[in-house]
Amino acid sequence: MTHPSDALIASLVGNLQPVKPLSFARGLGYALAAAAFSAIAVVVLFGIRPDVLAGRFDPVFLIATGLFLVLGIASVVTVIVMSRPQIGSDHGGWVWAAAMAALLPVAGLIVSFGGGSDIVSRDSIAHGLECLMVGCGASLLVFAMLVGWLRKGAPTAPDRAGLLTGIAAGSLGIFAFSLHCADNDIVHIGLWHSGVVILVAGLGRTLVPRLVRW
C-alpha cells in the first residue's frame, strides 16, 4: 500500500549526501577561538592595562573579568548545546552564572547611591561610552560565529538562543576590553561593562531569532 509520504521519501533518499555532524567540541573551539582573537585584537589595538603588564592585579579587576569570562563561557556552552535539538536537554546552567555576574551592576548601583563614585561628570560618561562601544565591537566576532553555528544547527527555542548569543558575545567582548580598561571602580564596571552585556543581549534577542528559524 503506498503512503502519501512515499514519493517524498524517495526524493529525499535520492538527494542524500554525507554530512559532517555538528560536534560540541568543534563549536566550543570555534567560539573560544573567536573570543581569544577578539582579546588579542583589543590588546594589539589599545594596549594592555599597565597594572596587569606590571604583574599587579586589582581584586575588583580579577573578580569582574572572572565573572564576565565565566558567564561568557557558560552562555557559549548553552548556545552550542541548543543548536542540537534534544528533548530533555537542560539549558539552565547559564542562569547561575548570570545571577553571579548581575552582582556587579547591583554592587555598582549600591555604591553610586551611597555617593561613592562620580558617574555624571563628562569625563566619566565619555569613558563609559568608550567602554560600551569598544566592548560591543569586541563582541562582534563571537556573535557572528554563534549565529553561524545556530544557522547550521536546529535551535528549537530561537528566542532564547538569540538572547544567550547576545549574553555570550557581550560577556566575552567586555572580558576582552577589560584587559585594556584600567578602571577598577565598581560603579564604572557595574554600569558600563555590564551595560555591554545587557545591550548585546538585547540585540541578540531582537535580531537573532529571525536569522536562525528553520
Partner 1 sequence: MRADEATLARLMVMSQKGDKQAYATLLTECQRWLTRYYGRRVAPAQLDDLVQETLMALHNKLATWDSSRPFLPWMAAIARYRWVDHLRRLYRAKECALVPDFAGQDDEPAIAARISIDRLLSMLPDAQARAIELVRIEGLSIAEASQATGQSESLVKVNIHRGLKKLAHMVEKA
Residue 13 contacts partner 1 per CB under 8 A: yes
Query: How many other β-carbons are positioned within 10 Å of the β-carbon of residue 200?
Result: 27
Contact 196, 136 (CB under 8 A): yes
Whole-number minimum distance, CB 3 to partner 1, in Å? 7
Q: Which of 47, 85, 93, 116 binds partner 1 (CB under 8 A)?
A: 85
Residue 206 contacts partner 1 per CB under 8 A: no
Shortest CA distance to 94 belongs to which of 163, 154, 39? 163
Closer by beta carbon to partner 1, 19 or else 126 = 19
Residue 211 contacts partner 1 per CB under 8 A: no
Residue 84 contacts partner 1 per CB under 8 A: yes
Closer by beta carbon to partner 1, 84 or else 127 = 84
Closer by beta carbon to partner 1, 147 or else 191 = 147
Whole-number minimum distance, CB 78 to partner 1, in Å? 15
Using CA atoms, how far apart are residues 12 and 20, in angstroms rounded to an integer?
18
Using CA atoms, how far apart are residues 41 and 55, in angstroms rounded to an integer?
21
Residue 9 contacts partner 1 per CB under 8 A: yes
Q: Which of 2, 17, 44, 113 binds partner 1 (CB under 8 A)?
A: 17
Residue 153 contacts partner 1 per CB under 8 A: yes
Across 100-121, b (16+ Cβ under 10 Å) vs e yields ebbebbebbeebbeeeebebee
List, as one string, the DSSP characters of 130-156. HHHHHHHHHTHHHHHHHHHHHHHS--S
Using CA atoms, how far apart are residues 167 and 164, in angstroms rounded to an integer?
5
Q: Binding segment for partner 1 among 40-48, 146-154, 161-169, 188-196 (CB under 8 A)?
A: 146-154
The interface mask with partner 1, positions 26-65, x = CB under 8 A, is ----------------------------------------
Q: Which of 1, 44, 54, 87 binds partner 1 (CB under 8 A)?
A: 87
Query: How many other β-carbons are positioned within 10 Å of the β-carbon of residue 184?
Result: 15
Shortest CA distance to 180 belongs to which of 63, 53, 49, 67? 49
Q: Which residues bind partner 1 (CB under 8 A)?
A: 3-5, 8-10, 12-24, 83-89, 152-154, 156-157, 214
